[in-house]
């Protein structure tokens, strides 16, 4: 994410101390200190989030929006307060534009089925990019299958930079919707989402931005980006699993039919007619993940207290160091070298398959991810079955990349 103009206020030692906020980082793995470099898969949780979950279950656990007893009131109050925190994180106008979902995947499916599917006719097009996670490919393929629409894919170059001219060219008269990632989970590429949104809007095409790898790494300002929909997952943002959110512009949410039916989303039900609640509750059928939302709220407080501008600057520094260290290692090919890059370093090694690399790293206490990262078309674009991926969080420092490099030297010794 952009760090231009950000004034550093915190030292490397200060960031080193952040580790203490994350109890799991005290663990030893195969007798070695844990070096966690897999936050793009899921982040670790700071103590304040763990304590919030425990406190909620010990003191306030009840269902929301239903009973009038005190516990239910407290649970409802905290759940809705968490919605306000998501609004603040994203710079949305109104908490009613925030729908809690189980994560990014559910948010994208909701938009695909409720907003996009009803408008599609045979021959219409949906535009995505070549660097999407499966969660931002498959839901669109499904609506295409259901309606006869076509998926169009904007290409990327060998550095992993989107071809913006092609993106613009592909926004044609049949394009009905565009969906693209803010930050690539494999390449770390930060897309020019403001420009992409502008281009789409000029063609009267609404957009969804997949923010799963973005919100936790730098300030997102929806007013600035102008997105119609924005999705993210709590578990990648220091919050619990099974919770995430969809931002949707209020007027669009009001047009959308509900996707799933059940309790919580209705005002009244008879066998003749059901009246739905207004958004966002219309889209939250069934008992929601109450503890998850409240835990996510605590994670957002934590992140906002650290200061997202400072987080972005710190992570950018560590990322630059990591890229430097890895580029100097023998037999390492970096995948994803876009000038605008955040939080993720993918690489291939001449000496060994990514799974062997990750196994050896694990013996050194280094948790990195090996695989296709739910982005098989992107792997194919780079002619690889898989990569090894190191991804950052606020608690990572240069020393983590020194340990990673040590592990990779071992890989070269063993397989070289
Ligand atoms: N989009 C991107 C860019 C991701 O990195 C991920 C997860 O890795 C997802 C979507 C899916 O997120 P979730 O599995 O939390 O729904």
Cβ neighbours of residue 304 closer than 8 Å, sequence gap 6 or more:
88, 89
Does a structural domain hold residue 1?
Answer: no
Same domain flag for 231 and 345: no
Q: What is the pLDDT of residues 27-51, one digit of tens each?
A: 999 999 999 999 999 999 999 999 9
Q: List active site positions.
A: 374
**CATH code at 232?**
3.40.640.10
Does a structural domain hold residue 3?
Answer: no
SS3 33: strand
Residue 254 banded pLDDT, cuts 50, 70, 90 = very high
pLDDT of residue 12: 84
Average pLDDT on 191-211 reads: 98
Does a structural domain hold residue 342?
Answer: yes
CA of 287 to the centre of ligand 1 (A): 23
CA of 8 to the centre of ligand 1 (A): 30
Of 251, 274, 304, which residue constitutes the final position of a domain? Answer: 304
Residue nearest to atom 5 of ligand 1 (CA): 185
Same domain flag for 152 and 284: yes
Same domain flag for 145 and 17: no
Same domain flag for 29 and 76: no
CB-based contact 69:62 (threshold 8 Å): yes
Atom of ligand 1 nearest to the CA of 135: 10
Residue 248 banded pLDDT, cuts 50, 70, 90 = very high
Q: What is the mean pLDDT of the chain?
A: 96
Average pLDDT on 382-408 reads: 97
**CATH code at 357?**
3.90.1150.10
CB-based contact 49:298 (threshold 8 Å): yes
CA of 132 to the centre of ligand 1 (A): 10
CA of 409 to the centre of ligand 1 (A): 31
Residue 8 banded pLDDT, cuts 50, 70, 90 = low
Residue nearest to atom 8 of ligand 1 (CA): 41
Q: How many CB atoms lie within 10 A of CB 65?
A: 17
Same domain flag for 212 and 254: yes
Does a structural domain hold residue 7?
Answer: no
Q: Ligand 1 site: residues with CB under 6 angstroms?
A: 103-105, 133, 135-136, 181, 185, 210, 212-213, 233, 374
Same domain flag for 206 and 236: yes
Does a structural domain hold residue 38?
Answer: no
pLDDT of residue 67: 83
Same domain flag for 182 and 249: yes
Q: What is the pLDDT of residues 130-176, one digit of tens each?
A: 999 999 999 999 999 999 999 999 999 999 999 999 999 999 999 99
CA of 414 to the centre of ligand 1 (A): 34
Helices (H), 148-221: 164-170, 193-202
Percent of the chain at pLDDT exceeding 90 = 95
Does a structural domain hold residue 43?
Answer: no
Does a structural domain hold residue 168?
Answer: yes
- Domain range holding 401? 12-33+307-415
Determine the residue of 131, 233, 237, 375 to mutate for testing ligand 1's pocket, defined as the one with the most ligand atoms within 8 A of the Cβ atom: 233
Q: What is the pLDDT of residues 266-294, one digit of tens each?
A: 999 999 999 999 999 999 999 999 999 99
Residue 110 to residue 184: CA distance in whole angstroms = 21
For the chain, give me the number of helices (H) and strands (E)? 14, 17
Same domain flag for 157 and 270: yes
Same domain flag for 240 and 120: yes
Q: What is the pLDDT of residues 61-88, one digit of tens each?
A: 999 988 899 999 999 999 999 999 999 9
Of 273, 304, 335, which residue constitutes the final position of a domain? Answer: 304
Rounded to two decimals, the pTM is 0.96
Same domain flag for 133 and 259: yes
Beta bridge partners, 346, equal: 335, 389
pLDDT of residue 9: 65
Residue 416 banded pLDDT, cuts 50, 70, 90 = confident
Does a structural domain hold residue 6?
Answer: no
Tally the domains of the chain.
2
Atom of ligand 1 nearest to the CA of 106: 16
Same domain flag for 367 and 259: no
Atom of ligand 1 nearest to the CA of 235: 15
Residue 5 banded pLDDT, cuts 50, 70, 90 = very low
Same domain flag for 127 and 147: yes
Atom of ligand 1 nearest to the CA of 236: 15
Determine the residue of 101, 111, 213 to mutate for testing ligand 1's pocket, defined as the one with the most ligand atoms within 8 A of the Cβ atom: 213
Residue 2 banded pLDDT, cuts 50, 70, 90 = very low
Taking every pair of Cα atoms in the chain, the longest distance, rounded to a whole number of angstroms, is: 73
Of 304, 322, 355, which residue constitutes the final position of a domain? Answer: 304
Percent of the chain at pLDDT exceeding 70 = 98
Contacts by residues 168-173 (CB-CB < 8 Å, ≥ 24 positions apart): 168/199, 170/125, 170/127, 171/127, 171/199, 171/200, 171/203, 171/205, 172/125, 172/203
């Amino acid at each position: 994410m952009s760090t231009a103009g950000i004034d550093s206020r915190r030292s490397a030692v200060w960031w080193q101390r952040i580790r203490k906020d994350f109890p799991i980082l005290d663990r030893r793995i195969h007798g070695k200190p844990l070096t966690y470099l897999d936050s793009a898969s899921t982040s670790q949780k700071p103590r304040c989030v763990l304590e919030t979950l425990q406190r909620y279950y010990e003191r306030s656990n009840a269902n929301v929006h239903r009973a009038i007893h005190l516990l239910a009131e407290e649970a409802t109050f905290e759940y809705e307060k968490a919605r306000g925190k998501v609004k603040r994180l994203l710079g949305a106008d109104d908490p009613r534009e925030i729908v809690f979902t189980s994560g990014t995947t559910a948010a994208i499916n909701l938009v695909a089925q409720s907003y996009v599917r009803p408008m599609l006719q045979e021959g219409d097009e949906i535009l995505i990019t070549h660097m999407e996670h499966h969660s931002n490919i498959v839901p669109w393929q499904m609506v295409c299958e259901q309606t006869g629409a076509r998926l169009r894919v904007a290409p990327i170059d060998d550095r992993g930079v989107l071809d913006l001219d092609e993106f613009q060219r592909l926004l044609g008269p049949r394009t009905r919707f565009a969906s693209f990632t803010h930050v690539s989970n494999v390449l770390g590429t930060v897309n020019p989402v403001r420009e992409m949104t502008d281009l789409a809007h000029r063609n009267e095409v609404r957009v969804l931005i997949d923010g799963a790898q973005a919100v936790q790494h730098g300030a997102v300002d929806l007013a600035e980006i102008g997105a119609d929909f924005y999705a993210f997952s709590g578990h990648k943002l220091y919050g619990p699993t099974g919770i995430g959110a969809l931002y949707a512009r209020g007027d669009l949410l009001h047009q959308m039919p509900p996707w799933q039916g059940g309790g919580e989303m209705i005002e009244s039900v008879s066998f003749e007619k059901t009246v739905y609640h207004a958004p966002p509750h219309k889209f939250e059928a069934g008992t929601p993940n109450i503890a998850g939302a409240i835990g996510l709220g605590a994670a957002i407080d934590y992140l906002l207290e650290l200061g997202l501008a400072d987080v972005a600057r710190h992570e950018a520094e560590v990322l630059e160091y990591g890229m430097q260290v890895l580029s100097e290692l023998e037999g390492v090919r970096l995948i994803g070298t876009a000038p605008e890059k955040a939080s993720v370093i993918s690489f291939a090694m001449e000496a060994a398959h990514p799974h062997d690399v990750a196994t050896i790293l694990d013996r050194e206490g280094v948790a990195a991810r090996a695989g296709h990262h739910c982005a098989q078309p992107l792997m194919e674009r780079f002619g690889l079955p898989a990569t090894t991926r190191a991804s950052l969080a606020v608690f990572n420092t240069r020393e983590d990349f020194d340990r990673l490099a040590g592990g990779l030297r071992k890989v070269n010794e063993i397989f070289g």
